Every structure is written in structure tokens, then in C-alpha cells.
Amino acid sequence: MKNEVIHARISEDIKKESEIILNNIGMTLSQSIDLFLRQVVLKRGIPFELNDISNEKDDIEELAYIINSVDGNEPPVEAKKLIHLYSLGYIDYETAKFGIMRLFANDR
């Protein structure tokens, strides 16, 4: 039996947009908050990964710098594939960096 009420202040735009999305998948805002809190209890923490966007931007800029510092030309297809995999989250930054450095080391 649910008997607790939560009061939270959120942006009006975020509330409206999230209610539209949740409605499209058949959930109410209250149901989604209940689901989130159940997952917090189950996972014993936040139930999703939190990323610092500024670090990700720095990582992408460093990958671009690595490519440009090697030859300054259009990156090879293999380097573009590694960057694409990184941008999709399939590989981490260190793996992308290692792969790109290895590509250019093999070219020399």
C-alpha cells in the first residue's frame, strides 16, 4: 500500500517533456518515480551510470589532437571507426586512444 507523498521541485519544461514521454510508454510520473526508487533500493545506489560531460568532451578533443598531431591529414578509416565506437560508448577512452596511437605507430 502506497501512503507516502514526495514533494520535489523540478523545471516545468522537464516535467512536461517527461510526462509526454512516459505517457507514450504507458507510465505516469508517479509510477516512474516509484520505479526509480525501487531500483535505487535494489541496486543500492543510482541505477544508471553518471558521466561528467566535460570529461567526455575533453577526451574527444584529446583524440582529435592525437590524430592531428601525427600527420595533420584526414584520419584513416580505422581511426574514424575507433572514434565512432567511442562516441557510441562501445569502447572506453583509453581503448580508443590506444587503438589510434597503435594505428599511427604502425604507419611509420
Strand residue runs (E) in the chain: none
Provide the 3-class DSSP secondary structure of residue 58.
Answer: helix
Whole-structure pTM over 0.85, yes or no?
A: no
What's the whole-number average pLDDT of the chain?
Answer: 80
Confidence band, pLDDT 50/70/90 cuts, at residue 52:
low
Position 66, amino acid: I
pLDDT number for residue 16 = 92
